Amino acid sequence: MSLTFSLAHLLGGIILLCAFLQLSQRRLAAMITLYQMEALVLAAAAFWQGFAQHEINLYLTGIITFALKAVLLPWGLREIVLRFNMVRAVETALPMAVSMILGLALIGIAVLVVLPTTMSSISLTREDLAIALSVVLLGLLLMIVRRNALAQIIGFLSMENGLVLAAIGMPGMPFVAEFSVALLVLLAFLVVGVFLLRIREHFDTLDLSGLEKIERRGR
Amino acid sequence: MGVVGNSIGLMFGLPGQGMHLHLDALSLLFGCILLPQVVAASVAGMRASVAFWAFVLGMALALLAADGFTLIFGFELMSAASWLLVMQGDRKPATLYAGVAIFSGACLIPALFLPASSLAFVLIALGAGAKAGLAPLHSWLPRAHPAPPAGVSALMSGGMVKVALYVLIRYAFINLAPAQQPWWGEALAAAGALSVLIGALRTVLEVELKTALACSTVEHVGLITVGLGLALYAKAIGDAELSGVALQAALLCAVAHGLFKPLLFIGAGEVKHATGTTSLNWLGGLMRGMPRLGALMLLGAAGMAALPLGPGFAPEFLLFHAVIGAAATGGILARIGFSALLAVLGIGAALALGAAVRIIGLGFLGRPRSLHAAAAEDMRRGPFVAMALLGALAIPVALVPGLLLDLLNPVIMLLAPEAQTPPLAYAPVTLLILAGLAALAAGFVQTRWGVRGLREVPAWNGGFGRPPAWLPFGDPHTQASATGFAEPVMRVMGKGLLGAGMTDPAERFLLAPLFRIQTRLIRLAERVRRATIRERLAFVFAVLVAFLLALGLGQGG
């Protein structure tokens, strides 16, 4: 059982590291690569949890995660980057250092919240839950500190990874929930992709700061 | 309809409770104050307006209410209908008026259902005081009351204000009586004194006739409130005689004001109808073209100035008695305060006299200041009947106030059961006979020993120059204007109290800060509305993090 814990924590830690590193990246390509690694490790974690909990559903989750998030979505994102010629640096709303310090603080908050509140439950899920909450918060932070729409989408996807991580760590979580979350993310990705195309058609850029300027001027 | 106890239940209103009407001496008195005004206003030309009758219905409901719901329903119906009527006249004061009405409703509704306590009294005083135009919540009144047609102005000034005071009286004296404290009366008297000062001062300074009359209403509300405050104070400290005299003063003042103020307002409407303006700077000499209106306005102005033998004198006389009586009670601070109140009332009386002289002297005497004023024809039949009715009713108030005070006794017994009401030490009829005898004697002396025959002398002509050929009515600038007449008062008191711009202190210190706060809130709302998606997300995120932090710290600690 001790191997189960250690490996689960290790995989969770790698996912957290990937999510955190996304904050520090200026370039979209690097962010996509980090997201792909995150998804790969998440799939591995799902397989490992399936093996440890003897749940056939978790294998299915792992397969879906691998196929959708580690292969399909990064490919789509890279396509968008290529098609829109966005290989250059990403505009950030906050300095890198500040956003990373904020990220560290968020991880601290997540640990502070989860560890005392779940004192009574089994220890397998406690650390996993703290890691998952950290990943969700980091994803949200990523959406806030980036101006580029694609970077915000990556933040959103990363946040969703955190949710799945929390779900697979919980024994007895029904498969339907994970499946629907995954489907939701795919749909959101499609919708946002179409949206991006429209923005691009209208404004010739995906940098939303111009849009913000218009909004600030009043409709 | 069914009779429950001594009140009549109506078949509508709150489910399960209905509405209840009840007539006691106090309601009857205020109904009697209201009735001539309603008749006069409807005769003066308001009888076709639906809003006017809704306004009257609201006031009647408020007066007859036996339960809190009916009272507030009638009160708000009155506010809403009068708001409509004000809006027909002018839109800008209507908005201010609606704000004040909402404020007073927001104060009254919780107060009616609170148990008897000081908080309930403060809320009642704020709500009813705002509606009655009691300082410092009076600044809307000189704007809103002149806006609608004259009949409505008359009823608002003479009637609606009384209904608000009725609510104040009913709650302060009857419903909240178990919790009464001396400072309630002192606070009311202080607010009343402030109203008297500001109202009287502005009456002298305002150039528009209707605005000046509305300011005079503020003054009279102040006088009534001073009387009520003294009575409340005396009742709380157990001074039977003082509470009786003060109540007599307040109620008689309400009766008198309910007669002469509508008369003046309807008269102002006739002036507007005949000349197209109510600005005193463009009137003058109306007594020649409109003798009947002039005579009736003279009667009203005598009441407004509280001249002896006029309808306003007896209440003011009683009020001074009450204040002098109050100055002999309580501790040293109370004595100093009531003595200062006496001084304020004296200033108010002097200013009111000046204002009445100004209205009559500049509006109705002298030379016309414009062609319109020179060509004014006498009043129409309807307003004349209305004013004559009010004037005729004012005469008994002026000449036999003693009898009227006897009629008021049941109300006073209802409000302050232990109050003693001494007979009035002012006999106008005797005074009138004496004055008549003196006039007869003077006339006799003049005819017997005076100069006989006529002598031709060069005319002094009241200081006027000979009118130039191109101005047949004389140059209007050779006689004092209304602004010029008020200038000495403006210099002595106005600059200090009202500031250089002649704005009401209540507007500067109450409305202006409120307006600034509103602007700031609007800016904030606009900022929120224009927030970008990222900012909104960041806000939600910050709230989430704060929540988590609180959760974690709460659990950890």
- List chain A domain ranges: 2-217
Distance (Å, rounded) from C-alpha B360 to C-alpha B294?
8
Whether the CB-CB separation of A155 and A92 falls below 8 Å is answered with no
- Inter-chain CB proximity B552 and A216 less than 8 Å: no
Report yes or no: A159 at the B interface, CB cutoff 8 Å. no
Q: Which helix (H) or strand (E) holds B367?
A: none
- What's the confidence (pLDDT) of residue A121? 61
* Cβ partners under 8 Å of residue A107, min gap 6: A16, A20, A134, A137, A138
* Cβ partners under 8 Å of residue B332, min gap 6: none
**pTM of structure:** 0.75
> Which residues in A lie closer than 8 A to residue B549 (C-beta atoms)?
109, 112-113
> Which residues in A lie closer than 8 A to residue B556 (C-beta atoms)?
112, 116
Q: Identify the CA nearest to A214 among candidates B66, B448, B533.
A: B533
Distance (Å, rounded) from C-alpha A218 to C-alpha A201?
22
Report yes or no: A218 at the B interface, CB cutoff 8 Å. yes
> Which residues in A lie closer than 8 A to residue B537 (C-beta atoms)?
140, 143-144
Q: Are strands B7-10 and B19-21 parallel, antiparallel or unpaired?
A: antiparallel
- What's the confidence (pLDDT) of residue B2? 42
- What's the confidence (pLDDT) of residue B461? 62
| Shortest CA distance from A115: residue in chain B | B552
- Inter-chain CB proximity A106 and B537 less than 8 Å: no
- What's the confidence (pLDDT) of residue B92? 86
Report yes or no: A93 at the B interface, CB cutoff 8 Å. yes
Quote ipTM for the complex: 0.78
- What's the confidence (pLDDT) of residue A179? 66
Of residues B532, B537, B545, nearest to A143 (C-beta): B537
Report yes or no: A216 at the B interface, CB cutoff 8 Å. yes
> Which residues in A lie closer than 8 A to residue B542 (C-beta atoms)?
none
CA distance B552 to chain A (A): 4
Q: Would you call A18 helix, strand, or coil by DSSP? A: helix
Looking at A20-24, A51-55, B54-58, B336-340, which range is the least confident one? A51-55
- Inter-chain CB proximity A137 and B545 less than 8 Å: yes
- pLDDT band with cut points at 50, 70 and 90 for residue A206: low
Distance (Å, rounded) from C-alpha B497 to C-alpha B197?
9
CA distance B556 to chain A (A): 6
Distance (Å, rounded) from C-alpha B137 to C-alpha B135?
5
Residue with tokens 């909990």, as numbered in its chain:
A53
Q: Identify the CA nearest to B204 among candidates B415, B549, B515, B502.
A: B502
- What's the confidence (pLDDT) of residue B4? 46
**Other beta carbons within 10 Å of A100:** 17
> Which residues in A lie closer than 8 A to residue B555 (C-beta atoms)?
113, 116-117
Which stretches of chain B drop beneath a pLDDT of 50?
1-4
Report yes or no: A117 at the B interface, CB cutoff 8 Å. yes
> Which residues in B lie closer than 8 A to residue A140 (C-beta atoms)?
537, 541, 544
Looking at A124-128, A138-142, B170-174, B260-264, which range is the least confident one? A124-128
| Shortest CA distance from A147: residue in chain B | B534
CA distance A80 to chain B (A): 22
**Other beta carbons within 10 Å of B240:** 15
- Inter-chain CB proximity B537 and A110 less than 8 Å: no
CA distance B532 to chain A (A): 6
Q: Identify the CA nearest to B409 among candidates B189, B252, B176.
A: B252
Of residues B541, B544, B556, nearest to A112 (C-beta): B556
| Shortest CA distance from B557: residue in chain A | A116
- The partner residues of A27 in beta bridges, in order of sequence, read A89
* Domain spans, chain B: 2-433
C-alpha distances out from residue B177 to A50, B120, B182, B232, B489, Å: 78, 11, 11, 9, 42
